[in-house]
Structure 1
Amino acid sequence: MNNDNTDNSWILLTIAAIVAAVAVTIWKFSTFFGFDMSTGGAVFGRLVVLVVVAWMSWKFGDDFDPVRLGNLWPVLLALLWWCLWPALDFWAAQERPSFFNPDDVSIWWATWYTKWGGVAAILGFGYLGKKLFQNDY
C-alpha cells in the first residue's frame, strides 16, 4: 500500500501544456506557409536545430575559435538551406500532375543534386567570400 500523499499531477499538466503549445505553434507555422502538418513540423524542427546551433556559436564562440560566428556563418546559411528541403519536396508534390507516379517524375528543385549542390555552393561561395574579404592586419 502506498501512503504517499504528494500531489504530482502538476507535472503531467505541465508536460501536456508544453506538448499542446508546441503542436499549436507547428500548426500555426504550417498554416501560415501553406504546408501540411508533417512538412511544417519537419521545417520547424530543422529551424529549431538551426537556432540552437547559431545560439551555441554565439554563446561559446569566444571561448572556442572554430565555432565563432564569424567562422561558422557559411555553415549556418547551408543549414538554413537544409531547413527548406521538406518544403521543396512539398512544393514539388503540389506541382506534379496527379496522374504521374511520384517515382517517375521529379521537379528539378526537389532533386538530390539540387539540394546538395545548393549546400556545396553556399559553403563554397561563403568561405570564398570570407577568404576574399578578410582583413589580414
Structure 2
Amino acid sequence: MQCNHCSWETFNGTCASGDEVILIRLALYGRMMAGKCITSKYAEAMGCRSDVTYHLDEKCTGRQNCSVLVATLDQLRQPCAKDFKLYLQITYECVKVYGEFILLAEALKLLKLQIYINSHIFFHISFVHTLRKIDMYAYFTVSTLPYES
C-alpha cells in the first residue's frame, strides 16, 4: 500500500490481523509531485527528496501499528529549500508472521528488550523447552518464508 502524508499529518500504519506486522518497503520525504499536499502552481520546485526508509523501518517494521508525525522528519533531513512544504510518501505492507515470531516478541517484551526486524531478513527461531533454548539456525528473506501447513 502506498500513501502520502502532508507535513502537518501523522502516518498511522496498522495491520488489522493479529498475525501480521508492518514491513516498510520505501519511504521518501520531500517534494516528489503535485497532488494532495502541494498545488501544481509550485510544480517548478519538484524533485527534491530524501530516502527516509531506514528511519521509518526502525519505528514501524515488525510492529502491528505505529505512528510517525511527518513534521519530525524535518529534523532528520531537509532535502528542499526551507520555504517549501514537504510530504512523506510511504510504501508498506502487512506481512504474516508465524507463531514462533509472535511468541518471541512477547517473550522479549516481558524481558523489556526491544526487537528490531530488518525489512529484508527475518530470523527463523526454533523454541525448545519453553524458551530455555533459542536456536537461531537460518535466515529467510521475506520471499522465501515457509508457508504454514
The bucket for the TM-score relative to the shorter chain is: under 0.3
Structure having the higher helix fraction is: 1
Which structure has the larger Rg over C-alpha atoms?
1
* TM-score, scaled relative to structure 2: 0.23
Which of the pair has the greater relative contact order for Cα pairs under 8 Å at 6+ separation? 2
* TM-score, scaled relative to structure 1: 0.24
Structure having the higher strand fraction is: 2
